[in-house]
């Protein structure tokens, strides 16, 4: 038998635990090192660390990005361990802890909900040239798809619920469209650069608002003004000519209480999918003023103007299915086109051009006031405004009875290198009177086209011109979906006693959506003839309006349809919280009134005379307000069995108002008399396990969703388009979630 004993002389050990001073959460990955030496370590999943150091007087430094460094002078006895206890790290940003209150950020082993949190540093390391939703791809019960593959066209499902039923919030402020609940991620192209933290709460979650968190919520906390001065420049390159440049600078917190941080970025690329070129810009600025220890004011603005070319997911799925079913069918031109194929694009005058182009700019501004009224009471208020401008383009019209999807309008492999590309130059030639033999008969001038009918020559200079209509010639139209959105969210927190807190507040929102189409590209025609406006049928539109990253709406000539959707929201919420050494619990109640109004400028006579406005069914161009009440009631508790094990349980009921398109049907001001609130019943239980190297969570959930309503467009036997309404639909979503992280020791 051989025994070996090794003794290291003149060495000791330092231990401790690093936590966030605002929420007592462990900080994983904080750096602990000795001053003037390269020796160091990082904290484990529970925030603890162990560092071997030379014996004697030493200076230990603890650092973590986004927090102020902590320095300790300690005397280390040889061969012994020195525990410096719990180290409270304070954020080096102004007002970020207050934002967490507004945003209802959940705390580990305290808030009884299923959650996953991603810090800003992790976001930066993960995003690369991915889209923002793809950061969450490894989160339990989260499904992310790029859909057609265009820049920013991804979507997210949580626990099987689509984005309409997942509340997406920035600093606690909802960003789901107030008419249909959708989230357009291309509007937030540069958000990854601005993110301080992402928290995904699955199920009804901890948000006190009556938001659309049927499947869950995604709360994005932006960076705040830094307390230290500094800056950075970042360049990123990727496949398909992807390039991103970003710059950030912070003044730091000055003696006068002011701090300013701003960030700019530009992203561009050709896209992995054929014909999906994009250009995107982003900006972020935060100005903070600390007046005293009671009042802080923060102004934050962010936006991401962009345009990108698209591919519909339907066309990709269709081509893929046909290739799979009959890969040897040489008569089908779409067979075996490959995963990059895009039937919407081609070249125009030597430049990439497409039928489908998305363009949008949605700046959002927050003015936050944080008021610590006393050591027991605080008021956090956020006023915000968003002015979205933009839309998406698409084809309008036919050539000799054929739609744009016909293969005759595309190159085949013997004529063109890019098989299936749209022949935009030939479309322009045909629209302007030129001959394109395989398109059929040449385009006629306006007078010739109207032979047999009384020619409409109110604009006489279009006689003998080449005019397109909804059924003759192609144009590229732009469907505008702009909005003005403003609101106020105010949260009062009061500490009733050592164990009880009361949280209450109000939530007000006003939204106006403006929907119409305008001409983007005439594609060789002299004008487009518009006939859908009941008040001004028969006008010639020769104006082309751009589809760039930033657009204006002045002097637009509307075509096809024109309506406004107005939404008003007023809500209140209250939550009683209990917290003790091992047990924490809450009971939450919220209520809201949501009003809808529709104004239709095309389908009704515009007149000051109410009788003249009436249509055959008694509707007017401006509907009445349609009000619907809704709300939530939730409760939950968490019990920490010991330092390693905890369990939680929560449940709730959510009465959710219908979306705008379910209130008004058939694309007019017709009110759906049968519409009712959706009902959601949710129950969830979870178990957590924490050690120095293992972080594990197991959750069980069941969500019952009733009184769903949705619609589908249908083709009627008479050749017209119809709308089918489905109501009383129910779903049950249930499952088990497992999430774990292992940190090697």
Over residues 249-263, mean pLDDT: 87
Asked if 113 and 208 sit in the same domain, the reply is yes
Nearest one of 682, 678, 673 to 658, comparing CA atoms? 678
Asked if 44 and 119 sit in the same domain, the reply is no
Q: Could you give the C-alpha distances from 57 to 70, 82, 83, 237, 444, in angstroms and in order?
A: 17, 12, 14, 47, 94
Q: Please, which residues have CB within 8 angstroms of residue 383's CB and are 6 or more apart in sequence?
A: 366, 367, 368, 486, 487, 488
How many domains is the chain partitioned into structurally?
A: 3
Least confident stretch, 8-12, 358-362, 593-597, 731-735: 8-12
Asked if 158 and 216 sit in the same domain, the reply is yes
- For residues 725 and 511, the model is more confident at 511
Strand pairing report for 306-309 and 295-303: unpaired
DSSP 67: B
Domain end call among 90, 112, 146: 90
Domain end call among 71, 90, 109: 90
Evaluate if residue 456 carries a pLDDT over 80: no
DSSP, collapsed to helix, strand or coil, labels residue 121 as: helix
Here the CATH number for the domain that contains residue 181 is 2.170.130.10
Helix or strand holding residue 51 (H, E): strand 48-54
Average pLDDT, the chain: 87
Q: Is residue 138 part of a domain?
A: yes
Whole-number pLDDT of residue 617: 57
C-alpha 498: how far from its chain's center?
38
Asked if 703 and 743 sit in the same domain, the reply is yes
Asked if 117 and 201 sit in the same domain, the reply is yes
Please report which confidence band the pLDDT of residue 30 belongs to, taking 50, 70 and 90 as the band edges.
Answer: confident
Whole-number pLDDT of residue 432: 97
Q: Could you give the C-alpha distances from 469 to 241, 529, 566, in angstroms and in order?
A: 38, 5, 31
The string of pLDDT tens digits covering residues 62-95 is 988 678 889 999 998 888 888 999 999 987 766 5
Whole-number pLDDT of residue 27: 83
Whole-number pLDDT of residue 393: 98
Whole-number pLDDT of residue 131: 86
Q: Using CB atoms within 10 Å of the CB of residue 3, give its burial: 0 to 12 exposed, 13 to 18 middle, 19+ buried.
A: exposed
Domain end call among 64, 90, 116: 90
CB atoms within 10 A of CB 350: 7
Q: Is residue 299 part of a domain?
A: no
CB atoms within 10 A of CB 273: 23
Q: Using CB atoms within 10 Å of the CB of residue 561, give its burial: 0 to 12 exposed, 13 to 18 middle, 19+ buried.
A: middle
Here the CATH number for the domain that contains residue 51 is 2.60.40.1120
Evaluate if residue 10 carries a pLDDT over 60: yes
The string of pLDDT tens digits covering residues 275-300 is 999 999 999 999 999 899 999 999 99
Please report which confidence band the pLDDT of residue 247 belongs to, taking 50, 70 and 90 as the band edges.
Answer: very high
Whole-number pLDDT of residue 8: 44
Whole-number pLDDT of residue 6: 39
Q: Using CB atoms within 10 Å of the CB of residue 541, give its burial: 0 to 12 exposed, 13 to 18 middle, 19+ buried.
A: buried
The string of pLDDT tens digits covering residues 49-59 is 988 888 889 99
Please report which confidence band the pLDDT of residue 452 belongs to, taking 50, 70 and 90 as the band edges.
Answer: very low
Asked if 168 and 205 sit in the same domain, the reply is yes
Evaluate if residue 1 carries a pLDDT over 50: no
Q: Is residue 174 part of a domain?
A: yes
Secondary structure of 555-610 in the HEC alphabet? CCCCEEEEEEEEEEEEEEEEEEEEECCCEEEEEEEEEEEEEEEEEECCCCCCCCCH
Q: Is residue 191 part of a domain?
A: yes
Q: Provide the residue count of the chain.
A: 745
Whole-number pLDDT of residue 193: 81
The string of pLDDT tens digits covering residues 496-531 is 999 999 999 999 999 999 999 999 999 999 999 999
DSSP secondary structure, 141-168, as one string: TEEEE-TT--TT--EEEETTB-GGGEEE
Whole-number pLDDT of residue 690: 87
Least confident stretch, 197-211, 450-464, 610-624, 680-694: 450-464
Please report which confidence band the pLDDT of residue 2 belongs to, taking 50, 70 and 90 as the band edges.
Answer: very low
Token representation of residue 97: 């802890």
Asked if 64 and 175 sit in the same domain, the reply is no
Asked if 48 and 146 sit in the same domain, the reply is no
Asked if 53 and 144 sit in the same domain, the reply is no
The string of pLDDT tens digits covering residues 411-447 is 876 444 567 889 999 999 999 999 999 999 999 998 7
Report the share of the chain in percent with pLDDT over 70. Answer: 87
Measured CA to CA, the distance from residue 632 to residue 345 in angstroms comes to 47
Q: Is residue 342 part of a domain?
A: no
Asked if 636 and 686 sit in the same domain, the reply is yes
Nearest one of 556, 566, 568, 395 to 468, comparing CA atoms? 395
Please report which confidence band the pLDDT of residue 611 belongs to, taking 50, 70 and 90 as the band edges.
Answer: very low
Task: Name the range with the highest mean pLDDT among 14-23, 176-185, 450-459.
Answer: 176-185
Q: Please, which residues have CB within 8 angstroms of residue 276's CB and are 6 or more apart in sequence?
A: 149, 150, 151, 270, 308, 309, 310, 311, 342, 345
Evaluate if residue 260 carries a pLDDT over 50: yes
What pTM did the predictor assign? 0.86
Q: Is residue 523 part of a domain?
A: no
Dihedral sign for Cα atoms in the order 671, 675, 676, 678: negative
Whole-number pLDDT of residue 38: 67
Evaluate if residue 716 carries a pLDDT over 80: no
Asked if 82 and 136 sit in the same domain, the reply is no
Evaluate if residue 401 carries a pLDDT over 50: yes
Whole-number pLDDT of residue 47: 84
Over residues 193-207, mean pLDDT: 86
Over residues 308-314, mean pLDDT: 88
Nearest one of 263, 242, 281 to 193, comparing CA atoms? 263
Token representation of residue 612: 């003249």
DSSP 461: G
Q: Is residue 22 part of a domain?
A: yes
Please report which confidence band the pLDDT of residue 321 belongs to, taking 50, 70 and 90 as the band edges.
Answer: low
Q: Is residue 734 part of a domain?
A: yes
Measured CA to CA, the distance from residue 673 to residue 727 in angstroms comes to 12
Evaluate if residue 699 carries a pLDDT over 70: yes
Whole-number pLDDT of residue 332: 64
Report the share of the chain in percent with pLDDT over 90. Answer: 58
Measured CA to CA, the distance from residue 344 to residue 544 in angstroms comes to 21
Asked if 31 and 100 sit in the same domain, the reply is no
State which residues form the domain around 692: 622-745
């Amino acid at each position: 038998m051989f025994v070996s004993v090794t003794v290291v002389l003149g060495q000791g050990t330092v231990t401790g635990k690093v936590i966030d001073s605002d929420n007592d959460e462990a900080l994983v990955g904080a750096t602990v090192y000795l001053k003037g030496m390269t020796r160091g370590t990082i904290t484990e999943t529970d925030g603890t660390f162990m560092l071997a150091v030379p014996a004697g007087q030493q200076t230990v430094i603890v650092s973590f990005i986004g927090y102020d460094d902590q320095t300790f002078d300690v005397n280390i006895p040889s061969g012994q361990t020195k525990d410096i206890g719990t180290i409270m790290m304070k954020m080096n940003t102004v007002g970020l802890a207050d934002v967490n209150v507004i945003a209802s950020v959940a705390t580990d082993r305290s808030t009884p909900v299923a959650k996953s949190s991603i810090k800003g540093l992790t976001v930066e390391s993960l995003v690369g040239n991915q889209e923002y939703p793809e950061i969450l791809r490894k989160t339990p019960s989260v499904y992310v798809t790029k859909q057609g593959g265009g820049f920013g066209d991804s979507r997210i499902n949580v626990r099987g619920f689509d984005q309409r039923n997942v509340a997406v919030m920035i600093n606690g402020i909802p960003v789901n469209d107030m008419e249909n609940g959708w989230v357009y991620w291309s509007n937030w192209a540069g958000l990854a650069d601005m993110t301080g933290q992402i928290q995904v709460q699955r199920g009804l979650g901890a948000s006190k608002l009556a938001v659309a968190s049927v499947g869950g919520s995604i709360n994005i906390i932006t960076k705040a003004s830094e307390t230290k001065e500094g800056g950075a420049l970042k360049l990123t390159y990727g496949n398909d000519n992807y390039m991103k440049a970003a710059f950030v600078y912070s003044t730091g917190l000055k003696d006068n209480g002011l701090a300013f941080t701003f960030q700019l970025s530009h992203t561009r690329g050709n896209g992995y999918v054929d014909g999906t070129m994009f250009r995107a810009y982003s900006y972020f600025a935060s100005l903070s003023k600390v007046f005293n220890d009671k009042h802080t004011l923060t102004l934050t603005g962010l936006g991401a103007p962009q345009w990108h070319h698209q591919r519909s997911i339907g066309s990709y799925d269709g081509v893929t299915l046909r290739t799979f079913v009959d890969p040897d069918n040489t008569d089908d031109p779409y067979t075996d086109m490959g995963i990059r194929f895009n039937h919407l694009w081609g070249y125009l005058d030597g430049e990439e051009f497409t039928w489908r182009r998305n363009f949008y700019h949605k700046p959002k501004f927050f003015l936050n006031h944080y008021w610590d009224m006393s050591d027991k009471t605080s008021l956090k208020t956020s006023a915000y405004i968003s002015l979205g401008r933009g839309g998406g383009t698409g084809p309008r019209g036919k050539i000799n009875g054929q739609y744009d999807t016909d293969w005759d309008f595309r190159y085949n492999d013997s004529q063109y290198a890019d098989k299936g590309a749209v022949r935009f130059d030939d479309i322009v030639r045909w629209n302007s009177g030129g001959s394109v033999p395989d398109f059929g008969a040449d385009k006629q001038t306006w007078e010739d086209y109207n032979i047999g009918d009384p020619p409409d020559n109110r604009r006489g200079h279009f006689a003998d011109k080449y005019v397109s209509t909804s059924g003759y010639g192609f144009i590229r139209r732009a469907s505008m979906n702009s909005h003005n959105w403003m609101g106020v969210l105010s949260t009062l927190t009061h500490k009733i006693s050592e164990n009880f807190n009361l949280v209450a507040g109000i939530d007000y929102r006003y939204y106006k959506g403006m929907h119409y189409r305008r001409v983007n590209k005439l594609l060789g025609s002299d004008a487009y003839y518009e006939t859908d406006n009941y008040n001004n049928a028969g006008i010639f539109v020769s104006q082309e309006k751009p589809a760039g990253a930033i657009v204006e709406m002045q002097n637009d000539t509307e075509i096809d349809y024109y309506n406004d959707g107005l939404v008003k929201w007023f809500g209140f919420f209250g939550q009683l919280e209990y917290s003790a050494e091992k047990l924490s619990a809450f009971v939450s109640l919220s209520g809201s009134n949501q009003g809808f109004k529709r104004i239709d400028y095309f389908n009704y006579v515009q007149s000051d005379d109410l009788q003249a406005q009436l249509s055959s069914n008694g509707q007017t161009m401006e509907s009445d307000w349609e009000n619907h009440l809704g709300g939530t009631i939730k409760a939950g508790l968490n019990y920490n069995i010991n330092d390693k094990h905890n369990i939680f349980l929560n449940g709730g009921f959510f009465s959710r108002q219908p979306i705008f398109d379910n209130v008004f049907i058939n694309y007019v001001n017709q009110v759906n008399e049968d519409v009712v609130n959706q009902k959601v019943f949710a129950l969830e239980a979870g178990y957590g396990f924490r050690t120095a190297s293992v972080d594990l969570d197991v959750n069980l959930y069941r969500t019952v969703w009733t009184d769903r309503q949705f619609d589908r467009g249908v083709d009627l036997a008479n050749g017209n388009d119809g709308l089918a309404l489905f109501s009383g639909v129910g779903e049950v979503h249930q499952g088990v979630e497992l999430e774990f992280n292992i940190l090697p020791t």
